[in-house]
């Protein structure tokens, strides 16, 4: 007898948010190629970095709480994904002779792949979190996040980022015990107005102070004495401001995003595939652009000439990312459809 295994119904609200966030990640990485060309681009780049990864981390914490499978099973899946994409990324960068190509290593994650290691560690930490006092755990992880900046933990196994972003994952995990209550609390007119005003203020401040604020603060990698050699304590203030700003912007987006199905829903459902694929496509395309005069600004070109070159690069990269992600997503759906049918 043939039986159909029904997939778990998806929550359009969270898919919408993830769809918006992964598009923010892609746009942010594209803008990152031109941050030195304009202060406005630099400011927009900083603002996007202020919320996209922190919100992803927070949402990941919520779903870690909701997960039914054992933590070690989910963590091992993250590690498996990590090993596979590290090898694929290494091979692609060498095949296309990209300047960012290095020897194959699993110690230092390539491009966005640090998030897989981060998730594996955080998922395993839920063994301790499920019995911990939420207030004490959050307080301790916040203290560790802020204090860790006085040491250069480095990018090996995502150590620095794990400590930096752990409070956000933890907040999502503990608030994920009752998402209905969370939604009722945050999706009120008062919260929308207050968080909206604060988000607008953060946006304005970012545009006014982008040139004075180190971009690396948003990445959670560098120590304070690297960010502010003259006074490392400024780095402590900067990280605290970053985490607080990320929390405020997250509250705003949660309070206003639609619950019904939108184009973001489909994108959000496939956010992991887009997250892993787009970086490799971007690296290959940029290496290709740098070798072709058609995609480079000619000597003496004015502002319009520069904008045309930027537009040409963005169009080609956008199409390439859509095609490559589309292929990966199609393969994912094909494999999932095969698993949904079980023959007895």
* Mean of all residue pLDDT scores within the chain: 90
Structure-token pair, residue 252: 């705003």
Show the beta-strand stretches assigned E in 167-220.
none
Question: What is the band of 5 on the pLDDT scale with cuts at 50, 70, 90?
Answer: very low
Question: Which backbone phi and psi does 343 adopt, to 5 degrees?
Answer: -100, 125
- What pTM was estimated for this model as a whole? 0.91
7 φ/ψ angles, rounded to the nearest 5 degrees: -70, 150
Query: How many domains are there within the chain?
Result: 1
Judge whether residue 36 has pLDDT over 90.
no
> How many angstroms separate the Cα of 196 from the Cα of each of 44, 186, 192, 201, 324?
17, 12, 6, 9, 36
Confidence band, pLDDT 50/70/90 cuts, at residue 202: very high
Percent composition of the chain: helix, strand, coil (DSSP 3-state, to 5): 80, 0, 20
pLDDT tens, position by position, 142-188: 999 999 999 988 788 889 999 999 999 999 999 998 888 999 999 99
- In the structure, what pLDDT confidence band is assigned to residue 306 with cuts at 50, 70 and 90? confident
pLDDT per position as a tens digit, 40-90: 888 999 999 999 999 999 999 999 998 889 999 999 999 999 999 999 999
Range of the domain at 101: 2-343
Chain CA centroid to CA 22, Å: 7
Output b/e per residue, 84-107; b: 16+ Cβ within 10 A: ebbeebbeebeeeebeebeeeeee
Q: Which two tokens stand for residue 276?
A: 């892993």
């Amino acid at each position: 007898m043939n039986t159909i295994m029904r997939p778990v119904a998806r929550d359009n609200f969270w898919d919408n948010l993830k769809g918006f966030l992964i598009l923010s990640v892609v746009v942010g990485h594209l803008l990152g190629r031109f941050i030195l060309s304009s202060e406005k681009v630099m400011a927009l780049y900083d603002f996007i970095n202020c919320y996209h990864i922190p919100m992803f981390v927070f949402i990941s914490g919520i779903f870690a709480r909701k997960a039914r499978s054992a933590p070690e099973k989910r963590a091992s899946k993250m590690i498996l994904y990590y090993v596979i994409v590290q090898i694929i990324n290494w091979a692609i960068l060498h095949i296309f002779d990209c300047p960012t190509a290095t020897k194959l290593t699993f110690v230092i994650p390539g491009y966005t792949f640090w998030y897989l290691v981060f998730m594996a560690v955080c998922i395993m930490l839920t063994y301790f979190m499920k019995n911990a006092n939420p207030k004490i755990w959050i307080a301790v992880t916040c203290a560790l996040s802020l204090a860790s900046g006085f040491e250069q933990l480095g990018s090996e196994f995502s150590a620095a980022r794990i400590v930096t972003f752990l409070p956000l994952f933890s907040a999502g995990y503990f608030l994920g015990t009752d998402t209905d209550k969370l939604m009722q609390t945050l999706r009120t007119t008062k919260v929308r107005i207050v968080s909206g005003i604060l988000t607008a203020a953060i946006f304005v401040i970012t545009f006014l102070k982008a040139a004075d604020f180190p971009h690396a603060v948003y990445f959670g990698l560098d120590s304070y004495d690297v960010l502010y050699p003259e006074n490392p304590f400024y780095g402590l203030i900067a990280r605290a401001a970053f985490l607080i700003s990320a929390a405020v912007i997250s509250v705003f987006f949660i309070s206003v995003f639609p619950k019904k199905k939108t184009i973001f829903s489909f994108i959000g459902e496939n956010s992991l595939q887009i997250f892993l694929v787009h970086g490799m496509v971007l690296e290959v395309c940029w290496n290709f652009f740098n070798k072709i005069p058609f995609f480079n600004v000619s000597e003496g070109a004015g502002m319009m000439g520069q904008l045309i070159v930027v537009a040409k690069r963005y169009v080609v990269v956008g199409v390439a990312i859509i095609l490559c992600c589309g292929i990966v997503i199609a393969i994912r759906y094909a494999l999932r459809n095969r698993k949904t049918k079980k023959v007895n």
